[in-house]
Amino acid sequence: MEIVLSGIRPTGHLHIGNYLGALRNFTKMQYEHRCYFFIADLHSLTTHPKSADFHDNVRNVLAEYLAAGLNPDIATIYIQSDVPEISELYVLLNMLAYQGELERTASFKEKVRKQADNVNAGLLTYPVLMASDILAHRAHKVPVGKDQEQHLEMTRTFARRFNNLYGVEVFPEPAAFNFGNELIKIPGLDGSGKMGKSEGNGIFLIDDEKTVTKKVMRAVTDSGPTHPHSELSEPVRNIFTLLEIVSSPDVVAHFRTLYDHCTIRYGDLKKQLAADLWKIIAPVHTRIAEIKSDRDYLRKVTLQGAAKARESAHATLKEVKKTMGFRAF
């Protein structure tokens, strides 16, 4: 049974891209593999979240994880900061990471561009902390989107570098877990890029039906096809991509035929997309409210998850420190 790890930052609520891209598969996968799911609260500090919102954001994501179907009695579900072994491993792995390779990561360059007034060391070493999350449990598989492939490759580099430097095989080199398909990227509603919280273009699992519909109806399109079998513009292609994920093949074929014949009405396309999205979101939306209000249950889940995660991470850290030469007097 392979070890599989996945985490998400608590910078708000989970969006439909998180759910469609991974969570629905996680609910099945947790019964087939040894799975670790965590809330990456340390990672979120790179953007300096307001302390007043910090705990609520963690609670939101935890409740949404559970509402989506993750089972704390089967999988290990924990909060990153509850496992101090990860932070200690992060310090040790930083000694094997080099400035040049960290500065060349696409995510660092993007963050420098987007938050030029907050280029902190955490942004630079973000891939090292991500590697620590993965290597702490010696995970074999990591579900990642296309935007995270470079970070996963760096994790393999750090694992290989440690093993080669000390002549050991402490760390496996983790591979991307994509549920048998190509790595997917859920597009946003703003005409370009992926769906994400920071981009402000997402539909969230906490959204009600009215909000979902309103967001979809405001999605960017274009002026329509100019001739039969016109090439799809990026904004319209994004909408069709979402439709292909949530709607039946005959619905997709219907609207694609209308587009090819220049008779499509984007308003009808969006209404269909909104309705099909809500069918998926509705049952999760209801469960979120129930779970979020049960603080005793959430506390039980986090304590249970931290204990299991620490046991795994402690065993790894102990071996790493012994290999590096740390000894007790």
Q: Which of 177, 77, 172, 89 is nearest to 130 (CA)?
A: 89
Residue 229 token pair: 């079998």
Sheet with 34-39, strands from edge to edge, namely: 76-79, 34-39, 3-8, 141-142, 175-176
What are the catalytic residues? Answer: 111, 194, 197
Residue 46 and residue 108: Cα distance in Å, rounded? Answer: 11
Residue 277 and residue 273: Cα distance in Å, rounded? Answer: 6
Please return the burial class of 14, using the count of CB atoms within 10 Å of its CB with bins 0-12, 13-18 and 19+.
buried
Q: Which of 260, 266, 268 is nearest to 223 (CA)?
A: 266
Residue 175 token pair: 């591979």
